[in-house]
Amino acid sequence: MDKVGIGIIGCGNISSAYLKAMAAFPILDIRGLSDLNTALAEQRAAEFGLQARSVEDLMQDPAIEIIVNLTVPKAHVAVAMQALNAGKHTYSEKPLGINFAEGQKLAEAARAKGLRIGAAPDTFLGGSHQTAREMIDAGVLGTPVGGTATFMCPGHERWHPNPDFYYEVGGGPMLDMGPYYITDLVNLLGPVSRVAGFAIAPRKERLITSQPRNGETIPVHVATHVAGVMAFDCGAVVQIGMSFDVAGHKHVPLEIYGTDGTLIVPDPNHFGGQIDYLKKGGSFEPQETTRPYADGNYRSIGVADMAHGLRSNRPHRANGDLALHVLEVMEAFQRAAESGTTIDIRTKTERPAPLSVSLIDGRLAR
Q: Quick one: 135 and 228 in the same domain? A: yes
Residue 70 lies in a domain: yes
Q: Which residues contact 228 (CB under 8 A, 6 or more apart)?
A: 195, 196, 197, 198, 239, 240, 333, 336
Q: For the residues 24-33, what does the mean pLDDT come to?
A: 96
Residue type present at position 303 = V
What's the Cα-to-Cα distance from 145 to each of 130, 194, 267, 308, 350, rounded to whole Å? 20, 15, 20, 35, 20
Count of residues making up the chain: 366
Q: Quick one: 135 and 113 in the same domain? A: no
Query: Quick one: which H or E segment has residue 200?
Result: strand 192-200
The pLDDT, as a whole number, for residue 359 is 79
Residue 146 lies in a domain: yes
The CATH number of whichever domain residue 10 belongs to comes to 3.40.50.720
Asked if residue 121 has a cis previous peptide bond (ω within 30° of 0), the answer is yes
Domain that holds residue 112: 4-123+298-319
Q: Quick one: 90 and 239 in the same domain? A: no
Q: For the residues 126-141, what does the mean pLDDT come to?
A: 98
Q: Following DSSP, what letter does each residue of 208-276 receive, concatenated?
A: --SSSSTT-EEE--S-SEEEEEEEETTS-EEEEEEESS-S-----SEEEEESSEEEEEPPTTSS---EE
Q: For the residues 326-346, what does the mean pLDDT come to?
A: 98
In sequence order, the β-bridge partners of residue 152 are 243
Q: Indicate whether 201 pLDDT > 90.
A: yes
Residue 329 lies in a domain: no
Q: How many domains does the chain have?
A: 2
CA nearest to 301, candidates 349, 355, 366, 363: 355
Q: Domain boundary at 240, 264, 287, which?
A: 287
CA dist., res. 331 & res. 214, Å (int):
32
The pLDDT, as a whole number, for residue 362 is 46
What's the Cα-to-Cα distance from 319 to each of 144, 241, 286, 325, rounded to whole Å? 25, 25, 31, 10
Q: Residue 264 in contact with residue 253, Cβ under 8 Å?
A: no
Q: Quick one: 53 and 117 in the same domain? A: yes
Q: Strand 285-287's sheet: what is its strand order? A: 285-287, 275-279, 261-265, 254-258, 144-152, 237-243, 225-232, 192-200, 343-344
Residue 194 lies in a domain: yes
User: What is the rounded radius of gyration, in angstroms, for the C-alpha atoms of the chain?
Assistant: 20
Q: Indicate whether 88 pLDDT > 80.
A: yes
**pTM for the whole structure:** 0.95
Q: CB-hemisphere CA count at 13 Å for 233?
A: 16
CA dist., res. 228 & res. 185, Å (int):
14
The pLDDT, as a whole number, for residue 236 is 98
Q: Quick one: 137 and 281 in the same domain? A: yes
Residue 273 lies in a domain: yes
Q: Quick one: 101 and 136 in the same domain? A: no
Q: Quick one: 202 and 252 in the same domain? A: yes
Residue 347 lies in a domain: no
Residue 358 lies in a domain: no
pLDDT, tens digit, 9 for 90 and up, residues 268-326: 999 999 999 999 999 999 999 999 999 999 999 999 999 999 999 999 999 999 999 99
Q: Quick one: 113 and 152 in the same domain? A: no
Q: Which residues contact 36 (CB under 8 A, 6 or more apart)?
A: none
The CATH number of whichever domain residue 263 belongs to comes to 3.30.360.10
Q: Domain boundary at 263, 287, 311, which?
A: 287
Q: Quick one: 24 and 66 in the same domain? A: yes
Residue 293 lies in a domain: no
Q: Quick one: 155 and 268 in the same domain? A: yes
CA nearest to 266, candidates 285, 283, 277, 253: 253
Measured at the alpha carbon of residue 328, what is the angle toward residues 323 and 334, in degrees to the nearest 5?
135
Q: Quick one: 181 and 73 in the same domain? A: no
Q: Quick one: 272 and 140 in the same domain? A: yes
CA dist., res. 222 & res. 71, Å (int):
19
The pLDDT, as a whole number, for residue 356 is 76
DSSP-derived secondary structure letter, 281? T
CA dist., res. 23 & res. 265, Å (int):
28
What band does 357 get if pLDDT is binned at 50, 70 and 90? confident
